[in-house]
Structure 1
């Protein structure tokens, strides 16, 4: 037992780390198939597999699972992955130079927190409009206290970005502004947010890292990203069961999917996992995972060395001189 606490010491794995090449063939299948399907993860340098972008790997895995997992009750592809992680966005794309405007629907598995000199908090990063960046950074996952059904008829003053593409009317590349909003009847159990800390620096022709400290909460409230109409729907549930307790209503997965029970919407998510990258280079460094247990305790997974963490340790993972990203 640890002195001064009733918590049991976190036990290290019984077996030490094993290189993938030394694993049985059946256990190498995932890595082999991943590299075959997505060749970028098979890139090598001096005969050794190169370190790859964790967010890109996450996105490809989510997409592959969404296309291949099938329901146990039928042979049709199941929408489980999208129901759990998918975020449907309706985007308005406008070119101020040519006046062209279009809209598109897209499904993503993570939101981007773009970082600039004016961004000090996660909410500011989600709202800011900056130029696109080559991405590698921190992945953070929140879990919703109540499944969130979103219906947004009006534009949200956030989730903005810019992109460069060829304009048919101008016959050349032009800058387009892109403003996204949550799509109608969207349900997602987990909300993943990526801190964009790497961008392509043209002067040096390499990826550069943004070391600015950006705070984020243990409890994420997306209320400000919702339309006025949706905010009105969220007000009553956000007061709690008694209507004035101030505590958000909780709801089970069964209740969320049952047709005879009303889903209580709060727009509040609990932080449950963080994946950090330590180091200055996008092609090297070290990944560390921080995961919240069912008991509410946090565990840091640094390769085969798990260790207990406090909540204040998690909120310190905001970058800056600590070189966490």
Structure 2
């Protein structure tokens, strides 16, 4: 890869590396990091003409050590108003976004919207950022391969850059390391990088982080597993032979299967927890059909749900998309999908939560002489009556602050991020992220463009047309402490 020098205003940037396998737009993103001049404002002189985003480096014939000239003005950070009170609704749209929290978008480096939307969703998890901050450049475990270590560092550094910036960030280092670790994301067609599946990027990155972010002296990592891991227990039985067995497995997402009978997320999850398997039957001496019925045996802090919208279409030999509308809620209760033992654990926290929320609405708690109600009342004596204090304590844990009270899950989750896809095929179209901020406001991250959204618009991403539709939903657990 050749290196060139770039002259901009009174500054000279020596030894800027050009990856000639990538389009010139990527080179402009590198210069954006150096100068603060957005790619769309850059005018770069090459051989007496302007460098175009779709130009071919080989045709341009840029030589080692060549000096390039760039013209363009850098972005200025949005300044807070100095006089009078200005309501957010009266601000320009770009300044409205700045007023609600995290605002830094991610530049598209060439069909990288699948990666950008994944990163924006995972970046919204404070506990994950806190765990990454503890990961040191030299602190990787001996059994972690170098590429996994580099991708973990790149994720940590990119999240930090997003937190510090109010202007778009070019995820160059992360993208290069991602392609080295997972070559499938580096596929090209006619010299351009191809669109990839956001769910595959999400799953690969999350699994890698689960292997690299480890608690001190822990034999295996529980950090990412406790945040996103779902424990399933399954009953596998063959009606023909009467054989039956049970098995356990850990997954990082639940699947919402879509069919003609599925109109709502609950129905899709129910289908996703039932499946048919064809395998050898010792009793019959041949293959037979087994029914696998699963339920949740342990819940995470963040529940990820994938809408199974893509399937392989043999006729066209490509991935096709199910456009059917499937509604999903802002508040999700998964109690009905849990095992009997987990339901038992959830009973007391759920009753406390119901009573506390009812008290805020002026309702009286139901009185009962049952042993379960007595247990609830005993716990209540040790708990705060202000549920907001509990939420604050939960947020403190994400920043590394310990709490003497133990956290209890309730099986109730609140929607905090939606990754959507627009288009007819997984190999094309466009991915974006819709992320809820800590103050309750929603922001749409369309690559480098953050756009303020209304909450009522979030549930309209359920499909049924050519508009953006939910592909991955991330829910945050509603917890109490006692």
- The bucket for the TM-score relative to the shorter chain is 0.7 to 0.9
CA distance in 1, matches of 2:397, 2:88: 42
Contact 2:236 2:245 in 1 (8 A): yes
Counterpart for residue 200 of structure 1: 312
Deviation at 1:53, TM superposition (A): 1.1
Q: 1:43 to 1:177 in 2, by over 3 A?
A: farther
Unaligned residue ranges in structure 1 (runs of 5+): 21-25, 130-158
* Offset at residue 41 of structure 1 (A): 2.1
Q: 1:9 aligns with which of 71, 96, 100?
A: 96
Higher helix share: 2
Length, aligned pairs only? 289
1:181 corresponding residue in structure 2:
295
Counterparts of 1:151-190 in structure 2, within 5 Å, are 159-164=273-278, 175-183=289-297, 186-190=298-302
Q: How far off is 1:13 after superposition?
A: 7.2
Q: Structure 2, unaligned stretches of length 5 or more?
A: 1-85, 111-153, 155-170, 361-385, 470-482
- Aligned-pair Cα RMSD in Å: 3.6
Q: Scaled by the length of structure 1, what TM-score is found?
A: 0.74
- What secondary structure, in the 3-state scheme, does the structure 2 residue paired with 1:273 have? strand
**Cα deviation digits, residues 128-171 of structure 1 (max 9, x gap):** 26xxxxxxxxxxxxxxxxxxxxxxxxxxxxx2123455667778
Do 2:296 and 2:339's aligned partners in 1 also have CA atoms closer than 8 Å? no
**How far off its partner does 1:95 sit?**
3.9
Structure of higher CA gyration radius: 2
Q: Secondary structure at the match of 2:301?
A: strand
Higher strand share: 1
Task: Look up the match of 1:153.
Answer: none
Give the secondary-structure state (helix, strand or coil) at the position aligned to 1:63.
helix
Q: Secondary structure of the residue that 1:10 maps to in structure 2?
A: helix
CA separation of 1:57 and 1:162: change in aligned 2, threshold 3 A: farther
Counterpart contact for 1:237–1:243, Cα < 8 Å: no
State yes or no: 1:272 paired with 2:416: yes
Aligned to 2:447: 303
- With 108-117 and 83-92 compared, the bigger mean Cα shift is at 83-92
For residue 313 of structure 1, what is the aligned residue in structure 2? 457
Conserved in 1, the CA contact under 8 Å of 2:105 and 2:449?
no
Are the equivalent residues in 1 in contact too, given 2:309–2:322 (CA < 8 A)?
yes
Please report the TM-score for the alignment, with normalisation by the length of structure 2: 0.52
- More deviation, 35-44/268-277: 35-44
- Cα 1:59–1:240, aligned 2, differ >3 Å: closer, same or farther? same
Find the residue that maps to 1:213 and give its secondary structure: coil
User: Is residue 282 of structure 1 aligned with residue 426 of structure 2?
Assistant: yes
